[in-house]
């Protein structure tokens, strides 16, 4: 009887510790927002990512519950009064049961998640033709380096990559990007040193930024406000400094800012400053 009580006490202790740790980690954000441990989604397509996370959590929780019930059953039934039966696991019945359960879990859980992931990628996240075709889409070139995010907007001419002396109106920003609400924002990203990862948690968007190549990302904001930009790839000793701000503005406020910033760029243009002349021709074919 004492061994049974000890076994039950150990099991309950481990279970409670696991629950307390799990709940604590789920609410470990300094400033939690709405949702179960997730930043507030303010993007047009972010619900697709949230759905996959919620379904994954549901299936994992269900499997965890089943395993806990199975462990409780084993503790109750397989006590010191139960005669042990040894099984090497090579019986045909055991193999068939194991394979059947594995196939059911794989096709129901993994198959469902894989199918929806492929659909989401094709319909939304890699559908750059849809974003580019929008007449009011915003295009930004992002140049990452240790330890900052540089951004370039086309000026009044609407073109990237024209000779700098002929196009001094490009708007260049550092760590603070501004975009309008309700229209696609398309980013082309490059790195001058190591691998970075441009991360917008409130927009469920993230992409690695690789030296020697240009990657592409798009999103569309549904709410105005200020949102964090992070680097999700450890890029060196001062990785923590790779943070920025994305301000989503009403369209008229964004247009006023862009017009003012473009005029300021023309006034402050310095053809000798080669460092400020980075940029590339926009790659519409990507």
Q: Along the chain (286 residues), what's the average pLDDT of each consecutive run of 10 residues?
A: 57 63 53 65 92 87 88 81 73 80 81 84 90 92 93 82 61 93 95 94 94 94 94 90 94 93 74 72 71
Amino acid 2: pLDDT: 53
Taking the model in full, what pTM does it have?
0.76
Amino acid 136: pLDDT: 92
CATH topology of domain 137-269: Immunoglobulin-like (2.60.40)
Amino acid 15: pLDDT: 65
Per-residue 3-state assignment (H helix, E strand, C coil) for 253-284: HHHHHHHHHHHHHHHCCCCCCHHHHCCCCCCC
Amino acid 187: pLDDT: 96
Using an 8 Å Cβ cutoff, are 250 and 123 in contact?
no
Amino acid 120: pLDDT: 87
Amino acid 182: pLDDT: 94
Per-residue 3-state assignment (H helix, E strand, C coil) for 181-226: CCCEEEEEEEECCCCEEEEEHHHCEEEEECECCCEEEEEEECCCEE
Amino acid 218: pLDDT: 96
Amino acid 1: pLDDT: 47
Amino acid 144: pLDDT: 93
User: CA-CA distance, 152 to 160, in Å (whole number)?
Assistant: 9
Domain boundaries, the chain: 34-80+89-126, 137-269
């Amino acid at each position: 009887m004492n061994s049974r009580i000890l076994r039950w006490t150990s099991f309950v202790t481990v279970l409670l510790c696991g629950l307390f740790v799990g709940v604590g980690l789920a609410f470990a954000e300094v400033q939690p927002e709405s949702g179960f441990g997730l930043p507030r989604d303010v993007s047009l397509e972010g619900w697709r990512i949230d759905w996959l996370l919620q379904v994954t959590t549901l299936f994992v929780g269900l499997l965890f519950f089943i395993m806990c019930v199975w462990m409780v059953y084993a503790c109750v039934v397989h006590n010191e009064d139960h005669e042990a039966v040894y099984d090497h696991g090579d019986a045909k019945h055991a193999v068939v049961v194991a394979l059947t359960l594995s196939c059911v879990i794989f096709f129901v859980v993994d198959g469902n998640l894989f199918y929806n992931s492929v659909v989401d990628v094709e319909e939304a996240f890699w559908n750059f033709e849809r974003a580019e075709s929008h007449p009011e889409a915003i295009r930004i070139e992002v140049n990452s380096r240790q330890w900052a995010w540089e951004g370039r907007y086309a000026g009044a001419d609407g073109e990237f990559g024209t000779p700098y002396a002929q196009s001094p109106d490009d708007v260049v920003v550092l760590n603070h990007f501004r975009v309008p609400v309700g229209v696609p924002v398309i980013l082309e990203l490059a790195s001058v040193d190591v691998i970075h990862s441009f991360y917008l948690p409130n927009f469920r968007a993230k992409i690695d930024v690789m030296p020697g190549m240009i990657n592409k990302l798009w999103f569309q904001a549904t709410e105005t406000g200020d949102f964090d930009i992070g680097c999700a790839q450890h890029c060196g000793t001062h990785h923590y400094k790779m943070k920025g701000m994305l301000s989503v503005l009403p369209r008229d406020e964004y247009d006023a800012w862009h017009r003012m910033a473009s005029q300021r760029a023309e006034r402050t243009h310095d053809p000798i400053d080669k460092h400020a002349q980075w940029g590339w021709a926009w790659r519409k074919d990507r």
